[in-house]
Amino acid sequence: MTPAEIDELRRRLHEAEETLKAIRQGDVDALVVGASDDTDVYVIGGDPDICRSFLDMMEIGAAALDNTGRVLYANAVLADLVGRPLPELEGMRLSELTGDPALESEILEGRLRRRRIPLGVAGAERQVMLSCGKLRLGTVSGHAVTFTDFTEQLAAERSRQNEKAALAIIACANEPVFVCDTLGLITHLSGAAAVLAGSGAIGRPLSEVMDLSVGDGTGLLTLGEIVAQATEGIPVQGIEAVAAEGTPFYLISAAPLQVPGEAVSGCVITMVDLSQRKAAERHQQLLLRELDHRVKNTLALVMSISRRTMHSEETLEGYQKAFTARIQALAATHNLLADKSWSDISIRDVLVRELAPYNEGFSQRILVEVPDVEIEPRSAIALGLVIHELATNATKYGSLSTPEGQVRVRGLPGADEPADVVCLEWLERGGPPVSEPTRSGFGQTVIRHAFAYAEGGGAEVSFEPDGVRCRVSVPTGV
C-alpha cells in the first residue's frame, strides 16, 4: 500500500473509534450509514422521541415510514411542502401524501432510492428530490424518506437559461437593441447597437452614447425620458428620432423588462433605421409636387391649344378635328415620357413616335436622320407639337399631299449654337409649289414660339418653291 492509502485507513479507523465512543457515552441518537444515494438510518436505543427529534432538526422535509408505507413521524418542513397540518400526516400512507401509489410500492420493495417528483397542492406544487433509505427503530424496521425542495434552484436555473437565450437573441438582432437597468444604464446591447454606441457603452446612460433628437415638436420628450418611462413600467412605441447630424432616422420603442410576478428590472429599447423609408418618402413627395406641377402645366397647355385652335378654325367640325389631332400629338409625347419615368428622352424617339401616323403605308416618305441626343421633358413636349404642326401642314398643302412627295428630317451642325442646343432641319421635296401663307395660323405660332423659353431655342420657317424648309433649334436642357 502507498503511504497515502495507509493514512486514509488510519483516518477512517480514528473516525470509527470516535463514533463508538460517542455511542457508549450516549452522545449519538441516530446513525446514517451508506453513500449519499443509498443510506440507512439507525436510531440508537429505539426511543421514538429521539427519532422525532432527529427528524425535527432536519432542514429538509422528512418522514419515517413503517414497513406498510404509513407515516410514523414527519417534520414541520414536510407539512409545509404538502400544505397540510403536521398531525394529519401521521398515519397517512405515502401514496396519499404523494398521490403516486406506484412510488410507494417501489420504496417498500427497495427498488427506489432517489427520484425527482412534484409535491404539494395542485397549482402550487413544489419540485422536490425524494431520497429514501432503510430505517431501524429498535426492533421496528421501516423507511426514512427525505424531500429536498429545489423549486427555487430550478427556477433560478431556468431564469439563467432564459437570460442566456435572451442575450443570444439580442446579440443576433439585426437592429440596434439596448437593455438598461432601472437607473437607465446600459447593461447589454446587440451587435448592431455596439457598432452605433461604441465599445464603452456598457454602464452609461443611453442618452450619452446616442445623440438623438426626438421629433415630438415640443422638446419635452427626450431619449432619457423614453428610458425613464419604460423603467417605470410604461411602454413607449413608435417614436421617431433623428441623429444630431440630421441622419439617420430611427423609430424607437421601449418596453419594461419584467419577469411575471416580479418588479420591473429595467427596459429594452429597440431602434429601427428609417433612413431608407424617409428617403423614399421625400422622393415620393418630390414626385407628387412634380406631378402637380406637370398636370397644371399640361392643363394650361391644353387650354391654350383649345383657345388658339378655336380662333384659327372656321367650323366646329374643323375645330374638333384639329384640336383632337393636337391633343393626340401631345399624348404621344406624354406616353414616351411616362415610359421613361419623365426623365430625359431621345430626340429620335420623339420624332419616330410623332411621325408614325404619316409614314404608314408609304415607304421612305419621311426620312429621319438625327443624332441620338437626349433632351429634357419640356423640350420633348415642344418638339412633339412642332413636328405635328409641320407634318399636318405637309399633309394638307405640302409634300405629303402627293404620292411623290418626301420629307427629310436631319441633324445640322450647330457651330454657332450654344452647347446645349441641337439643330434639326425639316425639308420637304416633291410636293406642289409652295408659297408663303397670307395669314399666320396657330401652327406657325407654335412652330416659331415653342422653344422661346430657352436661350438659343426657336424655329425658322422658309417657304421655298420646292418645299417648306424649317430649321429648329432644340434646347436639350441636359
Kind of pairing, strands 30-35 and 38-43? antiparallel
Q: Please identify, among 227, 247, 275, the residue that sits at the C-terminal boundary of a domain.
A: 275
What pLDDT score was predicted for residue 75? 92
- Report helix, strand or coil for 151: helix
**Do residue 185 and residue 139 come from a single domain?**
no
Query: Domain containing 390 — which CATH number?
Result: 3.30.565.10
- Report helix, strand or coil for 315: coil
pLDDT at 25 over 70: no
> Is 8 within a domain?
no
> Residue 136: which domain range?
48-149
Q: Is 374 left (phi over 0), alpha (psi -120 to 50) or beta?
A: beta
Q: Please identify, among 251, 275, 299, the residue that sits at the C-terminal boundary of a domain.
A: 275
What pLDDT score was predicted for residue 427? 94
pLDDT at 316 over 70: yes
Share above pLDDT 90 across residues of the chain, in percent, rounded to a whole number: 15
Residue 437: how many other CB atoms lie within 10 Å? 12
Which pLDDT band, with edges at 50, 70 and 90, does 37 fall under?
very low
pLDDT at 151 over 90: no
Cα 24 from Cα 13, distance rounded (Å): 17
Cα 355 from Cα 408, distance rounded (Å): 11
Cα 231 from Cα 235, distance rounded (Å): 9
State the average pLDDT for the chain: 82
> Is 252 within a domain?
yes
What pLDDT score was predicted for residue 1? 64
**Do residue 324 and residue 468 come from a single domain?**
yes
What pLDDT score was predicted for residue 110? 87
> Is 455 within a domain?
yes
Lowest-pLDDT range, 78-82, 254-258, 292-296?
A: 292-296
Which pLDDT band, with edges at 50, 70 and 90, does 219 fall under?
low
15 or 421, greater pLDDT: 421
Taking each helix axis from N to C terminus, what angle separates 377-396 and 347-359, rounded to the nearest 10 degrees? 30
What pLDDT score was predicted for residue 293? 80
What pLDDT score was predicted for residue 36? 46
Q: What is the 3-state composition of the chain as percent helix, strand, coil, each rounded to the nearest 5? A: 45, 30, 30
**Do residue 337 and residue 232 come from a single domain?**
no
> Is 154 within a domain?
no
**Do residue 456 and residue 359 come from a single domain?**
yes
What pLDDT score was predicted for residue 52? 76
**Do residue 240 and residue 333 come from a single domain?**
no
Query: Each residue of 319-353: pLDDT tens digit?
Result: 888 888 888 888 888 888 888 877 889 999 999 88
84-94-37 Cα angle (round to 5):
110
Cα 118 from Cα 129, distance rounded (Å): 9
> Is 247 within a domain?
yes
**Do residue 244 and residue 322 come from a single domain?**
no
**Do residue 114 and residue 145 come from a single domain?**
yes
Number of domains in the chain: 3
**Do residue 450 and residue 363 come from a single domain?**
yes
pLDDT at 2 over 70: yes
Residue 456 Cα distances to 301, 390, 472, angstroms: 22, 20, 10
**Do residue 375 and residue 439 come from a single domain?**
yes
Cα 126 from Cα 227, distance rounded (Å): 37
Return the residue matching grid coordinates 421613361. Answer: 340
pLDDT at 48 over 70: no
Query: Each residue of 430-472: pLDDT tens digit?
Result: 999 888 887 777 788 888 888 888 788 888 899 998 999 999 9
Cα 446 from Cα 388, distance rounded (Å): 10
Query: Each residue of 167-181: pLDDT tens digit?
Result: 777 777 788 888 888
**Do residue 455 and residue 399 come from a single domain?**
yes
What pLDDT score was predicted for residue 356? 86
Contact 51, 44 (CB under 8 A): no
> Is 454 within a domain?
yes
**Do residue 134 and residue 271 come from a single domain?**
no
pLDDT at 98 over 50: yes
Contact 253, 177 (CB under 8 A): no
> Is 19 within a domain?
no
Query: Domain containing 127 — which CATH number?
Result: 3.30.450.20
pLDDT at 31 over 70: no
**Do residue 140 and residue 184 come from a single domain?**
no
Q: Please identify, among 275, 303, 321, the residue that sits at the C-terminal boundary of a domain.
A: 275
Cα 372 from Cα 347, distance rounded (Å): 6
Return the residue matching grid coordinates 423640350. Answer: 379
> Is 394 within a domain?
yes
